[in-house]
Structure 1
Amino acid sequence: MQEERLRYLLGLHLHGRTSAAEAEELNALLQDESKAALFIPILSEMMAASPAAADYDAGCWESVRQRILEADAGVQLAPQRRTWWKWAAAAVVAGILATGAWQYTHREKLPAAAVSMEGRYKNDVPPGGNRASLMLANGDVIDLDAAADGKLAQQGTTRISKLQDGQVAYNEDEDATVAAWNTLTTPRGGQFRLTLPDGTQVWLNAASSLRFPTAFVGKERIVELTGEAYFEVAKDAGKPFIVKAAGGMDVQVLGTHFNVAAYEEEPSSTVTLLEGAVTVNRQQLEPGQQAIRQNGHIRIRPADTEQAVAWKNGYFSFNDADITTVMKELERWYDIKVQYDTDASKLRFGGGIQRSLPLSSVLKILEKYQVKFRIDGRVITVIP
């Protein structure tokens, strides 16, 4: 019932026919983040099923996009919810616009799938979750999924605990003079949150690894990262925090919020600064900037900060991404393997999708972009 009501209100809104009362009701629904799982698929479906799928009218769809963005400007939401509404609406609309533009330019009809959707989606894959393992200095490995809340281990003067919200925290019982090194590793299909001994908060994305000391002794706080992590570094003017990331990137900060993406299998690594100041291989970044390292060189460019940390906030975010980029993210989060039975390299994807959705729901949204999939266990095939 609520899904149909949201669909009805969105339909009125997209055509500029909402009354004041209906606009207020729609805004109330969109402020409820539990409705996010309904909003993006419904809007994608409505716009993909519209005339844009056959005869793209740039003026029409630009006016739709503007109405959504203008509506956001007039809605006073709490900061995090206001950001979600603007980002999600704009991203989905921009993505559907991009698809319509591609279809209009090429005028090519891709062949229909030989197998029905029911046949192609015989099984499903659940989304990833809080999964990780912790290797202690002596080589012991703790499965954090199975570990009970409370004290996990003692490393020197540092107590390691699993908290009720699922994260792991390191607390020094007294000033340490010697540190041991631990490693937190997330599998494909896992993510985890960690509080370091100095109070720094770290969110680790799927298929990532963070090596860190049980106490920060000496004049620097050094950690080593492979994969992707978001850091909120505790301020300590006398002891800089340094992230040594895969791919030869060294990030130095005193206290700030930033995201590092440095997967070994990727051709480039990025550091995106949200707050404070950092240096990347001695080059200064300002908030809203991103350092990208590719082919041994680093360049600084403006950043889409919301897109950079979308994974931490529970979303996939794509902006004119090719299918390989999209599927690599799905591979890591759903622990799947992707293979291709067709060339879909010309397609570009844009928009936001919740990471809490089962894989079949994500693939059905992506199929609005004139590509189809088949699920066979944990192997996903891109098909004609």
Structure 2
Amino acid sequence: MTKTEFLLIANRVATGEASEQEYKIYLTYYNAFQVKESAWDGISDEEKSSIKNLLSERIDQHIRPRILSLWPRLRLAAAVMALVIGTWLFTTNERMSVPEKPGISSASIKPGMNKAILTMASGKKFDLTALEKGASLKLENISITKRNDGSLIYSILPHRKSQEVSYNNISTPRGGHIEINLPDGSHVFLNTASDMKIPSDLVENRRVELLEGEAFFEIAHNKHKPFRVISPNQTIEVLGTKFNVNAYAEENVIKTTLQEGLVRVGNNIINPGQQAINSSGHIIVQSVDPEEAIAWMRGDFFFDGNSFESTMNMISRWYDVEIVYDYKPSGLHLSGQISRARSITEVLERLQELENVRFKIEGRRIRVIK
């Protein structure tokens, strides 16, 4: 981002015209600004306190709800920040980073990336990560093509259809995610550590099985052929819609969140902005902001009252690390948002700001200590 681009965003924040994405960019640079003490040169202690308090108050709240209604309180702070940050942020080549605290080192641990494994009905496995962009792989009755953006096109070869229905699996390892374009025009985005089973007769009988993990579905509309997503203890039936299913085994519940359209979960009709929570077959429906459930698709971790253990599960899956608890905080619930592109050091340092919670990285193991 150039200095001019940043100042335009800062000005839109100051006038209350910024979009959510612009606001997120602004907060990212604010976080870096906090650790640059030299950036405060020339600002009085009273102004420093006012700016920090106003922005920190907003950061600590949920990111999405009622953003515009809170802008009047932040406009003065934003205007001052624009002037101050603009003078230093783009006149130095020094890389922005959060200083590492003792005990946290993560040189070998990287954020997740596009990774997928194909397991054929025959049991043969193929690492689709190794498939070159633009290349295709023809196997038995299917073809897999990797697009330039890293997503996959899953095609069923018409001249190789057979009477017997077979199932192929596409899974993402820990530290991986992938977008899959299905032959009926639907799109599936698999989050990390997820496994989906695709039948050979998908076009005629539209269904997939989400065996484990999390996926966002954009289902192509076909009023004559409903699409079914089958996961443990539930079946979702849709005509054409966008929804997210979180079915990680360690979370003990399945959460189905609807963004657009209409779906049926068991005997429950779910409307946009609602979430079905399935606990061992018992389903309750609640109103939610669907954008929070699909923050992972935008490249963010989003915590909305998550337990400490649930938060650490998310980190464990995305960075492919083991969590070991020498100390496990009880009754601690977290709210906030941070980019999944950040290093694990930065993510842990955010959590380490909590009282009596510290971390130590040992290879690919994160130890929680007091």
Q: Which of the five TM-score ranges fits, normalised by the shorter chain? A: 0.7 to 0.9
Pair 1:120 & 2:103 matched = yes
Q: How far did residue 118 of structure 1 move?
A: 4.3
- Per the alignment, residue 329 of structure 1 pairs with 314
Amino acid at match of 2:105: K
- Over the aligned positions, Cα root-mean-square deviation in angstroms equals 4.0
Question: Against the structure 1 CA distance between its residues 63 and 367, is the aligned structure 2 distance closer, same or farther, given a 3 Å change threshold?
Answer: closer
Q: Matches of residues 107-256 of structure 1 in structure 2 within 5 Å?
A: 118-124=101-107, 125-149=109-133, 150-156=135-141, 158-172=142-156, 174=158, 176=161, 178=163, 179-218=165-204, 220-225=205-210, 226-246=212-232, 248-256=233-241
Query: Quick check: 1:121–1:374 contact (8 Å CA) kept in 2?
Result: yes
- Which residue identity does 1:23 align to in structure 2? A
- 1:155 is displaced (CA, Å) by 3.8
The answer to whether the Cα contact below 8 Å between 1:40 and 1:352 also exists between their aligned partners in 2 is no
Corresponding residue number in structure 2 for 1:95: none
Unaligned ranges ≥5, structure 2: 38-45, 47-52, 75-98
Structure 2: which amino acid aligns with 1:294?
Answer: S
Query: Is 1:373 matched up with 2:359?
Result: yes
SS in 2 for 1:229: strand
In structure 1, give the amino acid aligned to 2:155.
N
TM-score where L is the length of structure 2: 0.75
- Match runs of 1:333-372 below 5 Å: 333-370=318-355, 371-372=357-358
Measure, in 1, the Cα distance between the counterparts of 2:32 and 2:144. Answer: 41
Structure 1 gaps, min length 5: 14-19, 51-56, 76-115
**Higher RCO (Cα < 8 Å, 6 or more apart):** 1
Alignment match, 2:69: 70
Pair 1:319-2:318 in alignment: no
Cα gap change, 1:43 to 1:195, in 2 (>3 Å): farther
Matched, 1:261 2:246: yes
Q: Which residue of 2 aligns with 1:274?
A: 259
Compute the displacement of 1:216 (Å).
2.1
Q: CA contact under 8 A between 2:206 and 2:226: conserved in structure 1?
A: yes
Determine the C-alpha separation between the residues in 1 that align with 2:227 and 2:334. Answer: 36
CA contact (8 A) 2:251 2:310 kept: no
User: Is the Cα–Cα contact under 8 Å of residues 188 and 332 in structure 1 kept in the other structure?
Assistant: yes
Distance 2:192 2:209 in 1: 16
Alignment of 1:17-32 (within 5 A): 23=14, 31=22
- Size of the aligned set, in residue pairs, is 322
Bigger shift: 342-351 or 299-308?
342-351
Cα contact 1:349–1:369 (8 A) shared by 2? no
Are residues 73 and 32 of structure 1, via their aligned partners in 2, closer, same or farther at CA, if it must alter by over 3 Å?
Answer: closer
Question: What is aligned with 2:268?
Answer: 283
Bigger shift: residues 116-125 or 128-137: 116-125
- Contact 1:30 1:36 (8 Å CA) reproduced: no
Q: Percent identity?
A: 34
**Normalising by structure 1, what TM-score?**
0.72
Aligned residue identity for 1:354: S
CA distance in 2, matches of 1:161, 1:30: 31
Give SS of 1:344's match: coil
